[in-house]
Amino acid sequence: MKKLLSILAAATMTVSAPLSVVACKKTDKNLEETEFDYQFWTNKLINELNQVVNSGLQKQLGDLYFQPQKFFENNKYINYENIMKILDGESSMDLKSESIEFKQIDSEIREFIDWNEILKSVNDRIIGEVNYKNILVNGQNPLKNGFEISEITLTEKAAGIVMINFKLDVSVQLRDESGSAFFQKIEYKSTIGIFTDEALVEEINNAISDFNEQLKLSENANNFRFTSSSGNFDENAAQFSQSDHGVQKSFSEFLEKFNNQQSGSSFGNLQINQNQNKYNFQKSAFLSASVVESSVRSKWYLEDNLNTTLKKGLVEGGGALLNTIDLTLDTNDRSDAVMGSRDTIPENVKKNLTSNDAWMFNHLYIKEKIDKKTNLSFDQILTDSDSEFDISTNDRSDSKVIAIFPTEVQSLSISLNQEGSELKFDIPNVNVFIKQEMREENSKKLMTQWLTLALELFREMFGFESGENNGNNNVAMKLPESFKNEFEFNKTYSYHELIEGVYNEAVERIKTRFPEANYELISGFYQSLNLDTGNADKFRVADTNNNLYYMNTSGDTVAYRQGLSPNLKSVFWQKKHKHNRKKWIDIFIYWRSSRYNSAWIWHW
């Protein structure tokens, strides 16, 4: 390997772009424009459509779970007598989609659904979003093809009670990265319950209504919390269902308190239960405590002077790095060398900042986002739930809150005794708003620790800590040992594995250097390369230090221009290292230049 690298002066990688560059809509004039991240915005759009469909259909169909038979007296097919006739002595029956009974019930279920109302919600919330323009087919509503009812199951639950369980398949039409249309499916399940005993229906509906009303109250709505300083929100949400987790404990306590109040039920021992610990985090409605993009933007390679705040801190470490962090945390500093701009701080937030609040990251921004309705998905869920959820700014009770997870609690049921037998019915899901609280005492301490680890991550990944990069070579990434040992011509390498190796080895070195650090705060690494046709990114592997160099189109590793620089970030939210392409690309070394004593690497 060393012999081979000693032969090489450099290896260069050229990036080609299958998709034209689109500037994303910016919420902050100081945030840089980046290449359109197709996969990110497609996932976000699908999540938002899911939320619109579920919220809209829940409004229209939620009241049908428990109804007396007289409610359906004008229905020819959805009524107690007809369902019992179809069952013909069977306790349960899955209707075949081609059967006349299926088609008849299908036709009447559709009468309860106003699909135009769903389409209007999509038009109001989604069609005008500039970042969805590339994903929508000719700017059309992605739900315009409507839905199909794919499953209908009839059940005689008990004497005088029949249930119709059905599933809707909603067709979503979008455009892939090549411009071709493709279809996605959103599923929605619901129930129609028909009861001959009106008193029983009233008792059940009153209990569910009381349950929902109590869940809305401030004393309960603001009580769902967990403690973590991790920015990996998917991992955080996956832990909600654990029995010893703060969220599951809080919901179990709420259920216990509610059920203890139901002892006066006419039907005895009426209870609402969670059959399984199931939570559906609604990612499109997530709110964070960040006023600016929660990432360290590493543009040291644009700084020619080694004495600039960021470059000096990265190259020298120690006191110089501490100075970089102090300036970043200083509300009045105007250099903006590492993160964001103080111009983004709203005046009403600025006047309430204390010495313990980090200007770029604190609970006041969550309150601001809620009040200003900056996230339409969050606002819709909050409006639909009619919850008294809020962030307190009058005292410091919410000062440690760094994120809000709007979450659907699933697998709920109501049980009661009737004539000595227990009856159990599924009930609609409910939404709660879960507060993530940091482990640290305040946001300034959190940001100090995160900035330290984020900048040290760059120092490790790019050879500043080891001294292999002196700051003059600009963006020189340390190759992972596994890659260096296998490096050869005419061989394809996984770019994903390359970056993963660089990242993982850097993290291990940080853990060795800082054994007492909170490793929840070790950030992810994101890079967005310039992939427009005129400005392809290149890399080279140098024999002097076995590093991977980012280059401009002229093959120059020093004279970077703003338009040619890779966008390198250490991110707080979502720790996984990412690349801005739909698929991780590969590296293929295919040509060696005798003139420049170098190898070219193709990137696709």
Q: Rounded to two decimals, what is the model's pTM? A: 0.80
In 3D, which of 36, 18, 15, 156 has the Cα closest to residue 84? Answer: 156
Query: Rounded to the nearest 10 degrees, what angle do helices 38-61 and 376-385 cross at?
Result: 20
Q: What is the mean pLDDT of residues 50-59?
A: 92
Q: Are 142 and 125 in contact (CB under 8 A)?
A: no
- Going by pLDDT thresholds of 50, 70 and 90, the confidence category of residue 253 is very high
Q: Are 314 and 464 in contact (CB under 8 A)?
A: yes
Q: What is the mean pLDDT of residues 384-390?
A: 95
* Bridge pairing between strands 295-297 and 10-15: unpaired
- Going by pLDDT thresholds of 50, 70 and 90, the confidence category of residue 581 is very low
Q: Which amino acid is at 412?
A: L
For residue 507, the surrounding DSSP H or E stretch is helix 495-513
Quick one: what percent of the chain has pLDDT higher than 90?
Answer: 48
Q: What is the pLDDT of residues 121-149, one digit of tens each?
A: 999 888 888 889 889 999 999 999 999 99
Please report the pLDDT score of residue 22 as a whole number. Answer: 29
Selected residue with higher pLDDT from 600 and 197? 197
Q: Which amino acid is at 465?
A: E
The answer, yes or no, to whether residue 485 has pLDDT greater than 80, is no
Q: What is the mean pLDDT of residues 301-326?
A: 79
Q: What is the mean pLDDT of residues 273-293?
A: 87
DSSP-assigned letter for residue 170: E
The answer, yes or no, to whether residue 603 has pLDDT greater than 80, is no
- Cα 134 to its chain centre, rounded Å, is 20
Q: What is the mean pLDDT of residues 562-568?
A: 48
Q: Which amino acid is at 314?
A: L
Q: What is the mean pLDDT of residues 483-496?
A: 58
Please report the pLDDT score of residue 441 as a whole number. Answer: 94
The answer, yes or no, to whether residue 177 has pLDDT greater than 60, is yes
Count the Cβ atoms, other than its own, within 10 Å of residue 211: 20
Of 55-59, 89-93, 563-567, the range with the lowest mean pLDDT is 563-567
Mean pLDDT of the chain: 79
DSSP-assigned letter for residue 143: T
Question: What CA–CA distances, in Å, run from 470 to 63, 446, 463, 568?
Answer: 68, 30, 8, 18
Q: What is the mean pLDDT of residues 507-520?
A: 89
In 3D, which of 381, 460, 539, 509 has the Cα closest to residue 54? Answer: 381
